[in-house]
Homo-oligomer: A and B are copies of this chain.
């Protein structure tokens, strides 16, 4: 049998991140100051972000060095493995070759530490002592908690209330790494208190939690805010995924025909696909890049491409992105990490230019795909990651019909060890599609 895992040595881990801003066919629409409708400058962001991240947010450089201190921590789990899904292929009876890059090997169980580590690092270098953030499913909150722990910083996490209830053990994980976590909306901020008063039964949303975390950072000394997706510097840090994957697939002489990732804010898809999109933009290779989202929060497939706020309280700059509107509160589906009303401006730009396509699936078929995967490959996927699995299965089954031997690559962004309550609901038929 051909090799199951394709591994890299630590010394093959990328030394630079890839910045797709340098290669976009259509320049990125700038973030706007909502008061003036003028593009914002670095100084407008300095209240909540450290200067190095602001520079990266706007950098025209094609490659940006990964600091040695960040690489030292990456090495605790990176390079992450690429698997050939032999058993899934066999279960489907497809002539397609299916590969997946597995980010669940990080201590937090997802791709999120790829950016939480450098974000905490740059904050620490600039003397910041405390970081606030929001989290949906808890993957980002636990990843930032882990990162702050490594650099001996305080961390406060505002966790979307529906996930806080559904995933109590992600909360425990945040505590284990020494951070503080509260359900959002919370009584700890002015905006949280306002929402609680108006909508005491709200299940919360990422937009609300972002507003709370920003308000907290703005009002406390030596405190900055950190975002786990959407922004350019987050996409940048995640490209370590795709850069590694390219090296790994080169070792087995493969180049994917299709690259698939689940897409909430977009960082997981960006991380895997941007190095491949570089080749596509340059005309070097043709590759189909697919963003997969829940039908319950269909940002790309049903949203509008326009300037909108990143948060519910309208505290952020205006970002040009596919959006369902910043007041949108999605149903409390179990893929809590894919419930954001908007999408990364870069992902939105690429989608508008036709360089990325999008698909949406319902919750129940997502869990069906997750079970098929767990029963063939063994690994229990996070419900978010199962969106990519579902799409990969669909494309592999199309190959079965057409006889095409396509090479399909998908991102398995995290494991589902903290999502077993959702699996229980799927098995007991308590899940709905909305």
Say yes or no for A423: interface residue by CB 8 A criterion.
Answer: yes
Say yes or no for A202: interface residue by CB 8 A criterion.
Answer: no
Say yes or no for A62: interface residue by CB 8 A criterion.
Answer: no
User: Are A149 and B420 in touch, CB under 8 angstroms?
Assistant: no
Given A105-B105, A107-B380, A417-B109; A424-B3 close (CB under 8 Å): no
Given A177-B375, A378-B107, A421-B169; A9-B7 close (CB under 8 Å): yes
Say yes or no for A327: interface residue by CB 8 A criterion.
Answer: no
| Stoichiometry (number of copies) | 2
Cα A427 to Cα B175 with chains together (Å): 9
Per-residue B-contact encoding for A391-434, CB less than 8 Å = 1, 0 else = 00000000000000000000000010110110110010000000
Interface residues of A in 169-210 (CB under 8 A from B): 169, 172-173, 175-178
Report B-chain residues with C-beta under 8 Å of the C-beta of A306.
none
Report B-chain residues with C-beta under 8 Å of the C-beta of A146.
378
Given A3-B10, A4-B76; A424-B375 close (CB under 8 Å): no
Per-residue B-contact encoding for A141-154, CB less than 8 Å = 1, 0 else = 00000100110000
Distance (whole angstroms) from the CB of A67 to the closest CB of chain B: 13
Say yes or no for A368: interface residue by CB 8 A criterion.
Answer: no
Distance (whole angstroms) from the CB of A112 to the closest CB of chain B: 13
Which of A146, A172, A177, A371 has most chain B Cβ within 10 Å? A172
Report B-chain residues with C-beta under 8 Å of the C-beta of A417.
109, 169, 415, 417-418
Q: Say which residue of B10, B175, B377 sits within 8 Å of A76 (CB atoms).
A: B377
Report B-chain residues with C-beta under 8 Å of the C-beta of A379.
107
Say yes or no for A250: interface residue by CB 8 A criterion.
Answer: no
Say yes or no for A125: interface residue by CB 8 A criterion.
Answer: no
* CB-defined A-B contacts under 8 Å, sample of 18: A1-B75, A4-B75, A5-B76, A77-B378, A106-B378, A107-B378, A108-B378, A169-B169, A169-B417, A169-B421, A172-B420, A172-B423, A173-B420, A175-B423, A175-B424, A176-B420, A415-B417, A418-B420
Interface residues, chain A, with chain B CB atoms under 8 Å away: 1, 3-5, 7, 9-10, 72, 75-77, 83, 87, 105-109, 146, 149-150, 168-169, 172-173, 175-178, 371, 374-375, 377-380, 415, 417-418, 420-421, 423-424, 427
